[in-house]
Amino acid sequence: MNTVTLGIIGAGRIGRLHVDNLLTIPQVKIKAVSDVVVDHLQEWAASKGISILTTNYQDLLADPEIDAVFICSPTSTHAQIIQEAARAKKHIFCEKPVSFSAEQTIEALRVVVEEDVQLQVGFNRRFDPNFKKVRDLVQQGEVGQPHILKITSRDPQPPSIDYILTSGGLFMDMMIHDFDMARYVMNSEVVEVSAQGTVLVDPAIGEAGDIDTAIVTLKFANGSLGVIDNSRQAVYGYDQRVEVFGEKGVAVADNCRPTTVEVSTVDGTVKDKPLYFFLERYTQAYIAEVTQFSKMILAGEKVLCTGNDGLQAERIAKAARESFLTGRPVKIEHETVISQ
């Protein structure tokens, strides 16, 4: 294969972002886009050279020229579309989470395995050069046996209450990225979580049944400990830090800032705030994840962030929610339910 031909299912913010990034890759061709409504997308699709625009994603699955699809539709549709796409022998890039239920996710993955297609889950942060370097350093033994993982992950502003009502809650829609990051940098499974959460940012979030501030501690299969803190609102920008401490040292990935400029006046020395949000911070990561996906599909090699990675992060998120609700640590069994 010299070129990979793609269909994009769902052309919301993230779908259109993937399109832009995919168009920078010479070996990629985007043939078709589907969404539930497409009228407002005509001009956009034309400007991107996309020839087919449809309200029926099954048109994409039925198109023999299309090698792979990007599933960027709402989470509630992921599991069903994954199965249909796999049955149609399409490789799949699916936004996280795969579903809100481990059963549904497992069911979808079973079909992926049966049909022997590839499925990459959109944990874009794995492709951030900072966090990837931490992972690489750990893998190379630069910090020795890991002892403590620390992740700080704070959004610059809360999502809308509408979003919160359907998001699955902080553990499932926000901290799930950190659970995946934990598994990624530590290269070990999480076997127990203990969650603390509260509402400090906006009472409306509490009224919507969610929390906005949380700290979760983790135990890993390799015996090490970890902690993640989340907030829905860091007024100074997107606070994204990862630290792995081990027997030989510590690796710390700090925030990224727009410039390196520091201004010193009588009032102090001031530098830029962290980059504002995920589109700014993870620009490179978003490009890298779709580039890597395309490359692996072209090469017929295994993608770097699989369905099982999606499943495990979802299971940790569920356990964290249970721990938060019961006030007790929750253990996570690691039977291998699926080998993808």
**Does 272 interact with its own copies (rule: CB under 8 A)?**
yes
**Does 257 interact with its own copies (rule: CB under 8 A)?**
yes
- Residue in 196, 1, 218, 224 with CA at minimum distance from that of residue 118: 1
Closest CB 217 distance from its own copies, rounded Å: 5
- Single out the residue of 14, 221, 250, 298 in contact with its own copies (rule: CB under 8 A): 250
**Does 200 interact with its own copies (rule: CB under 8 A)?**
yes
φ/ψ of 104, rounded to 5, equals: -60, -45
Closest CB 178 distance from its own copies, rounded Å: 14
Q: Which is nearer to its own copies, 9 or 234 (CB)?
A: 234
**Does 150 interact with its own copies (rule: CB under 8 A)?**
yes
- Residue in 52, 7, 54 with CA at minimum distance from that of residue 30: 7
* Residue 37: CB atoms within 10 Å: 8
CA distance 55 to 115: 26
Q: Report how far apart, in Å, the C-alpha atoms of 31 and of each of 7, 10, 60, 133 are.
A: 6, 14, 9, 35
Q: Which is nearer to its own copies, 263 or 279 (CB)?
A: 263
Closest CB 248 distance from its own copies, rounded Å: 6
DSSP state of 241: E
Name which of residues 202 to 231 contact its own copies (CB under 8 A).
Answer: 213-215, 217, 219, 223-227, 229, 231
- Single out the residue of 42, 55, 139, 145 in contact with its own copies (rule: CB under 8 A): 145
- x/- contact string, 298-327, with its own copies (CB under 8 A)? -----------------------------x
Q: Which is nearer to its own copies, 77 or 276 (CB)?
A: 276
What end-to-end distance do the CA atoms of the chain give, in Å?
Answer: 23
**Does 1 interact with its own copies (rule: CB under 8 A)?**
no
Structure tokens at 289: 């994840």
Instruction: Provide the pairing of β-strand 68-71 with 4-9.
Output: parallel
Closest CB 25 distance from its own copies, rounded Å: 12
For 82-98, give one letter per residue: b (16+ CB within 10 A) or e: bbbbbebebbbbbbbbb
Name which of residues 36 to 55 contact its own copies (CB under 8 A).
Answer: 47
* Amino acid, res. 15: G
**Does 266 interact with its own copies (rule: CB under 8 A)?**
yes
**Does 285 interact with its own copies (rule: CB under 8 A)?**
no
